[in-house]
Amino acid sequence: MNVLLVAEEAAGLRTLELLAATEHRVVAVATEAGGEERGAGVAGLAHRLRVEVWPSLLVTQPSFAERLENLGVDLLLNVHSLHLVDAAVLAAPRIGSFNLHPGRLPEYSGLSAPSWALYNGERRSGVTLHWMAPRVDAGPIAYQRLFDIGSGDNGLSVSVACVRHGLPLVEELLSSAQRDPASIPAREQDLSRRRYYPRAGPHGARLPWSLPARSLVDFVRASDYSPFRSPWGHPRTRRGDEELEVVQAATTATTAGAPPGTVGAEHENGVLVAAVDEWVLVERIRRGGYATAPAEALQAGSRLDPGPPVVTPLDRGEQG
């Protein structure tokens, strides 16, 4: 089969490695520029494999459909590329166009799905391989795999799990498409359960200490992609005029008995800060962009800025 891979990030890199190990022909890789000079990223690997590299922006242009038809593309596989693919391009491949989405559909459509699942306190997440449609993340589901989220997981570990569980779905798609394209499942999504999430995190990336401790800690770990850069940034709080980033925190199951945002006692693993219901243990913090000991930045008895009013993210619906 002839496959066009539209891909970014580690998931795209791993998918290209998978395709290269099969008998299928990768017609080209459409990806963002950057990294190829250093041999890094999706483009760098494509060059080493002697696969053509095209600008991923091409998928937004209706005229690109004719090029795919002339090349006999059987499958378009989109992996973590965020361009809105033109409807004519989606219809051009002989078998179909598919997207590997790092979230459980239809509940977690849109962007930053691993982080949103953590923020919402989910115990399970998932990865979905679905037929692409003009409406983002709304096409019929071909394959889906769910997995547990542990108390020690963070944004990075859930994202990595999505890649680990997603690659076998790509293998299953390739096998079915080669054997009998008609056997590829197409389960329509229940769009009444659809929730579209934005790229940016909640609360303007600021910690509302009026939230329950569990919610605050889930927000912190949803933002944690250490040692890599967090797509949301670390949640911020303010002590006076000083901005602080909370990198790691834990619940304590100890009633606070103080107004939210009150800095409590120093602990062997950090400093206590009052949430609306219990103390939160702030274990790692950044000040001025650099790691610092929580006890150096948080003075017992002081008050942190209470943060913004709590607002539930809106379902923005169609194409985001």
Q: pLDDT by residue (tens digit) across 68-108?
A: 999 999 999 999 999 999 999 999 999 999 999 999 999 99
What span, in angstroms and rounded, lies between the C-alpha atoms of 314 and 309? 15
Q: Bridge partners of 216?
A: none
What span, in angstroms and rounded, lies between the C-alpha atoms of 248 and 112? 19
Q: Residues 184-243: pLDDT tens digits?
A: 999 999 999 999 999 999 999 999 999 999 999 999 999 999 999 999 999 999 998 899
For the domain bounded by 202-297, which CATH number is listed? 3.10.25.10
DSSP class of residue 146 equals: E
pLDDT computed for residue 29 by the predictor: 97
DSSP class of residue 210 equals: T
Highest CATH level, class, for 2-197: alpha beta
Asked if the domains 2-197 and 202-297 are classified in one and the same CATH topology, the answer is no
| Helical (H) or strand (E) element with 46 | helix 41-48
What span, in angstroms and rounded, lies between the C-alpha atoms of 6 and 92? 14
Could you tell me if 282 and 294 are in contact, meaning their C-beta atoms sit under 8 angstroms apart? yes
Domain boundaries, the chain: 2-197, 202-297
Please count the other Cβ atoms lying within 10 Å of the Cβ belonging to residue 286.
Answer: 16
Identify which of 153, 95, 102 has the alpha carbon closest to the alpha carbon of residue 126.
102
What's the token pair of residue 219?
């927000």
Q: Bridge partners of 286?
A: 245, 291
Could you tell me if 272 and 252 are in contact, meaning their C-beta atoms sit under 8 angstroms apart? yes
What pTM value is reported for the model?
0.91
Where does the pLDDT of residue 307 fall: very low under 50, low under 70, confident under 90, or very high at 90 and above? Answer: confident
Residue 280, φ and ψ in degrees, nearest 5: -105, 135
Q: Residues 149-197: pLDDT tens digits?
A: 999 999 999 999 999 999 999 999 999 999 999 999 999 999 999 999 9
Q: Which residues fall within 8 angstroms of residue 146, CB to CB, at 6 or more apart?
A: 104, 124, 125, 126
Number of alpha carbons in the 13 Å side-chain half-sphere of residue 232: 36
The percentage of residues in the chain with a pLDDT greater than 90, rounded to a whole number, is 89
pLDDT computed for residue 290 by the predictor: 92
What's the token pair of residue 20?
């290269």
- Tell me what the mean pLDDT of segment 125-145 comes to: 97
